[in-house]
Structure 1
Amino acid sequence: MPEGDTVWQTAHRLHAALAGHPLTRSDLRVPRFATVDLTGRTVLDVTPRGKHLLTRFEGGLTLHSHLRMEGAWRIFAPGERWRGGPAHQIRAVLSTAGHTAVGFRLPVLEVIRTQDEPRAVGHLGPDLLGPDWDPDEALRRLCADPARPLGDALLDQRNLAGIGNVYKSELAFLAAVTPWLPVGELAPGVPPRLVATARRLLEANKDRPDRRTTTTARSSERLYVYGRASRPCLRCGTPVRRAEPSGDRDRVSYWCPGCQTGPTP
């Protein structure tokens, strides 16, 4: 599942390509909205909200999409071949005179009234990359259930909107605890540092082509533990481990047994 910085980048690419221009073509290839035609409506803006994308049109309509594990939006110039998957995976086509945005494998795609956006994204916690970021509220939500494992609490978008598996594993490593340690067992100063670090990392990476949490310049060492199973920890040399509960890629975790304390699977 994409992290918040990836969704932020996608939103800004879509905004740059579409905002301020009327649609010359609208094709929503999902049964419920297949007859909805947005042609002629001007795109007002494309806004990220956590991992959600809100494309707003004049007339008070919003196209709400979510990428989840496999979804992607691609932008093409007029006449350019659409790349990103076979035609049967296309779920949305939005064209202006200058660009075409094609949504592939979008698991969530719906047209709603702009005034009803809170029904789609109102459950989300403070957005790590949003103008409404509230670290105190994020901290309160993160610590609301002391018995909950840290990794689950970080992934819950109702606490902090924008964290996925990469940042979950990296934040646990930087806090020197495993993702399965209950939030209530963290040392007193750790939760506020986790919230601040999460915000700092996503802000630092939102404009980068390659995500980085380490301070090394080596391209092979951009992340401390994520994706480094069986490779030596960058700090202590202990082989990094990986856990994927019941084959659930939404909950895959990486950790260093030498640097991180706490329960493990």
Structure 2
Amino acid sequence: MPEGDTVFRAARRLDAALTGHVLNISDFRIPRYATLNFVGWRVESVVSRGKHLLIRLVPPAGPHQHQPGVSIHSHMLMEGHWDVYASGERWRSPSFQARCVLGNSAFQAVGFELGFLRVLRTHDEPEAIGHLGPDPLGHSWDPLEAQRRLLLDPERPVGLALLDQRLVAGLGNIYRCEVLFISRINPHTPVGQISDLAHVVEVTHQLLQANKDRARRMTTGASGPDPYWVYGRTGKPCLRCGGTLSHERMADPEAPGGQIVERDLYFCPNCQAVDDSVRLRVANRA
């Protein structure tokens, strides 16, 4: 699943290609919005908020000028992506995967296999994304608010809390695993037992900021065959201690919507050792 840095880069590419220009292509390829037509509307901005992307449009002057601005709100989920093409350039993905096409005289922006796509009035954005926690890549990033939200349930394992978009927006499985390894914290540790939660929040901010401009995400700080400390490296030696890295599945019974989804968890049993109280808690959950 694309994480916050991926969506941030996508929004920046779209913003450079679309913002300030009037649309001459408006093509929604999902039944609910198939009749919408924003040709003649101007793109005001494109922004990301965690894993969410918003393309804001304002109506043209004339009979439509008193209409409210609208936002095209998308989420990529697992396979989605937004591409930018010069006018006339061949698409890199098959056209049947396209869900939204927006264009001006110079560029086309195409959203492929988007997890969801909806159109709402721009002033209704808070109803759609107001639940999200602080965004490490946002202008209003607030580390103290992130800590406060993480501590709302001090008994919740930090490995689950970091994936909750209501607490911190933009983190996915990769960053969850890497942040906890760098911080030397076992994923099963209750948030309330972490002695320096501010450090965990700061590492989160630093990693996303470091990767927002990189074509290839890395967390080790060095280019090479292993861009990650632990993610996806089951059974391989730990780059810090040389021990064997572990993998397990971790389910969140408190996930929004009541859907219990197991997510892959990668960690080093040596660098991220648990104390007896945490080990007992894990055994009881099993």
Q: Aligning the two structures, in what range does the TM-score lie when normalised by the shorter sequence?
A: over 0.9
1:2 maps to amino acid: P
The equivalent of 2:271 in structure 1 is: 259
Distance 1:100 1:107 in 2: 20
Larger Rg: 2
Q: Does 1:213 align with 2:219?
A: yes
Distance 1:101 1:227 in 2: 32
What corresponds to 2:16 in structure 1?
Answer: 16
Aligned Cα RMSD in Å? 1.6
| Alpha carbons 2:2, 2:76 under 8 Å: kept | yes
- Aligned with 1:167 (options 166, 170, 175): 175
- Matched position secondary structure for 2:228: coil
1:89 equivalenced with 2:97 (yes/no): yes
> What TM-score results when the alignment is normalised by the length of structure 2?
0.87
3-state SS in 1 of match to 2:132 = coil
Displacement of 1:250 after TM fit? 6.7
Q: Which amino acid aligns with 2:230?
A: V
Aligned residue number for residue 129 of structure 2: 121
Q: Matches of 2:250 and 2:152 in 1, distance apart?
A: 24
Gaps of 5+ in 1: none
Name the aligned partner's letter for residue 79 of structure 1.
G
CA contact (8 A) 1:67 1:107 kept: yes
* Deviation at residue 243 of structure 1 after TM alignment: 2.1
- The structural deviation recorded for 1:204 is 1.1
The equivalent residue for 1:62 is: 71
Of residues 154, 172, 178, the one that matches 2:186 is 178
Equivalent residue letter for 2:234: A
Q: Is residue 32 from structure 1 mapped to residue 41 from structure 2 by the alignment?
A: no
Q: Secondary structure at the match of 2:45?
A: strand
Identity of aligned residues (%): 50
Tell whether the 8 Å contact from 1:177 to 1:261 is kept in structure 2 after alignment. yes
**Partners of 1:261 and 1:228 in 2: how far apart?**
18
Pick which of 96-105 and 177-186 moved more: 177-186
1:218-257 pair list within 5 angstroms: 218-245=223-250, 251-257=263-269
Judge conservation of contact 2:51–2:75 (CA < 8 Å) in 1.
yes
> In the alignment, is the contact (CA less than 8 A) between 1:165 and 1:250 conserved in 2?
no
Q: Distance in 1 between matches of 2:12 and 2:271?
A: 37
Q: Which residue of structure 1 aligns with residue 166 of structure 2?
A: 158
2:162 is paired with a residue whose SS is: helix
Distance between the aligned counterparts of 1:81 and 1:250, measured in 2? 38
Please report how far the alpha carbon of residue 221 of structure 1 lies from its aligned counterpart in structure 2 after TM superposition: 2.7
**One-letter identity of the residue aligned with 1:58:** V
Native 8 Å contact 1:126 1:161 kept in 2? yes
1:164 Cα offset (Å): 0.7
Q: Distance in 1 between matches of 2:193 and 2:141?
A: 26
Deviations 1:201-242 (A, max 9, x none): 111110111112213x34213211012111110011112122
Pairs aligned (count): 260
The runs of at least 4 consecutive aligned structure 1 residues that moved more than 6 Å come to none
- The one-letter amino acid of 1:220's match is P
Contact 2:250 2:262 in 1 (8 A): no
1:250/1:92 CA distance change after superposition, 3 Å: farther
TM-score scaled by structure 1? 0.93
| Cα separation, 2, equivalents of 1:250 and 1:212 | 24
Are the structure 2 counterparts of residues 95 and 250 from structure 1 closer, same or farther at C-alpha, using a change threshold of 3 Å?
Answer: farther
Q: Which amino acid aligns with 1:12?
A: R
